[in-house]
Chains A and B, each alone.
Chain A
Amino acid sequence: MFRALQQLHEFATSYNLLLLLEGGARTLVLSAAGCVCGFVLGFALAVLRHTAAGWLLPARILGVVYVEMFRRIPFLVTLFLVFYAFQALGLDVPVFWVAVASTCVIGTAYLSEVVRAGFAAVPRAEWDAAATMNFSLLQTLRFVVVPQAWRVVVPPAFAFFLSFIKDSALASQIGVVELTFVGKIFNNRGLMPAIAFGSVLIAYFVISYPLARLGARLEGRLALSRAH
């Protein structure tokens, strides 16, 4: 017990706290960058899957295969796949960007499904009406679909981002110095594991909990505004 208190005192240096802060920031930036990129590509994929042109059929099939595939591969395996793919291509990419790219790969698959659910919430008749009025696909999306679909899309997309703050912990395995890696540094430095990983758990909680509350409020308010 005395040892724990003493170690806690040793642990509470500005250097260690700064390391935690830096790790937390990297976790956040990693998840955010990956999810934004995944959302953009996922949106494009959802639009692609919504098209009806015959010549796009192979692309649509590829899209379905992509989504079903990457939703069934563990993030850890995707990380290593992307890592070694960059290596095989002879590209020297920092591990941070490997992790962002992996998040993006997975995010595209999951978020395209989220966007598709949003598209499905807009009645077919409105798509047809827009087409009848000679709206282009972009115009239909901009003026008809997105203004209605975003309420359906935002809560689950935000939930995905939240889940990735936690899943990005696996990026520590390819050497990204995010929160979990900081915990490993503490542990390797000989700090008590309870302090090393306990502090990291608390740090994750401090990041994730307010965002989870925000997400729940967002969902509640959007559900309310949809009811009107």
Chain B
Amino acid sequence: MNYTPHFGQITRYLPYFCGGAAVSLLLATLAFSGGMVIGLLGAMAKTSGGKVLRRFAGAYVTFFTNTPALVQVYFIYFVLPSCGIVLDSFDAVLLGLTLNSGAYLTEVQRAGFASVRRNEVEAAETLGMSRRQVVWYLVVPHIVRTLYPPLTGQFILITLGTSMGAVFGVEELTGRAFSVNAETFRSIEIFTVVGAMYVVVTILASLLLTIAGRSLFRARVSVF
């Protein structure tokens, strides 16, 4: 081994990398939010929809969870333009990640719906709570509290998943690592620093989400 690492040469790119981390987090937040909406609709369709809706939601989940997100984005990126829809790389990756996370979040939220105990609802009805009160004071808090930990896990996974944006030229953290690599060829140093930044960013995100979850919803989450 005759390679001497030079971390000094890439310190001046640190602010650039931090900007990339912000883009990664933005992409993850947008994809997660979109995925949550899709997931909520999907979970509703799967638990209380008619036969057609249930089938449709089932097919969507099965297809998207059994194929790689990367190929889904490839498909979106290359096929939609031939249908006249031209997306830039950020939007294509965002759309792909949203649809992909929507499928996983459908399953997560469905499990949350299923975890509401029948007899708790009956007890609330016995106490004379109206339908609205049951949903608002019992079902929603219960679902939020049980779903919070798996949802934070999903958010972290999506954040890591955004690194595929680099493949399509999105200037997020990994994408910026690629461009700096092409400029400086300090590959090992760059990917070590960027890897460490992902660790720091996701730990910070977990920390924030844990604090928010514990104080707002009394959810049993932990950072690690």
Contact = CB atoms under 8 A, between A and B. Distances in A.
B215 interface: no
A72 B203 contact: yes
Interface of A: 68-69, 72-78, 80-81, 84-85, 87-90, 166-170, 172-173, 179-180, 183-184, 187, 192-194, 196-198, 200-201, 204-205, 208-209, 212
A173 B163 CA distance: 12
Interface of B: 1-3, 5, 62-63, 65-72, 74-75, 78-79, 82, 156, 160-164, 166-167, 174, 177, 187-188, 191-192, 194-195, 198-199, 202-203, 224
A77 B191 contact: yes
B188 A169 contact: no
Contacts of B164: 74, 76, 170
Contacts of B75: 193-194, 197-198, 201
Nearest to A208: B66
A107 B167 CA distance: 23
Given A89-B1, A180-B68, A194-B82, A78 B74 contact: no
Given A74-B174, A77-B195, A205 B66 contact: yes
Contacts of A209: 62, 66
B160 A74 contact: yes
A172 B69 CA distance: 13
B187 A84 contact: yes
Contacts of B74: 180, 183-184, 187, 193, 197
A3 to B, nearest CB: 10
B167 A204 contact: no
Nearest to A192: B82
B115 to A, nearest CB: 16
B154 to A, nearest CB: 13
Contacts of A196: 78
B1 A201 contact: no
Contacts of B82: 192-194
A201 B78 contact: no
Q: Which 3 A-B pairs have the closest CB atoms?
A: A193-B78, A74-B163, A169-B68
Contacts of A69: 195, 199
Given A74-B161, A197-B71, A88 B198 contact: no
A128 B3 CA distance: 49
A166 B69 contact: yes
B194 to A, nearest CB: 6
B180 to A, nearest CB: 12
Nearest to A79: B191
Given A74-B163, A80-B187, A212-B65, 16 more contacts: A69-B199, A73-B198, A74-B161, A74-B162, A81-B195, A88-B1, A90-B2, A166-B66, A167-B68, A169-B70, A187-B74, A192-B82, A197-B79, A204-B68, A205-B67, A209-B62
Given A88-B3, A205-B67, A72 B188 contact: no
22 contacts: A68-B199, A72-B202, A73-B195, A75-B160, A76-B167, A77-B177, A77-B191, A89-B1, A166-B68, A168-B68, A169-B69, A170-B164, A170-B167, A173-B167, A180-B68, A180-B70, A193-B75, A204-B66, A204-B67, A205-B67, A208-B67, A209-B66
Contacts of A173: 167
Nearest to A91: B1
Contacts of A172: 70
A73 B2 contact: no
A36 B2 CA distance: 32
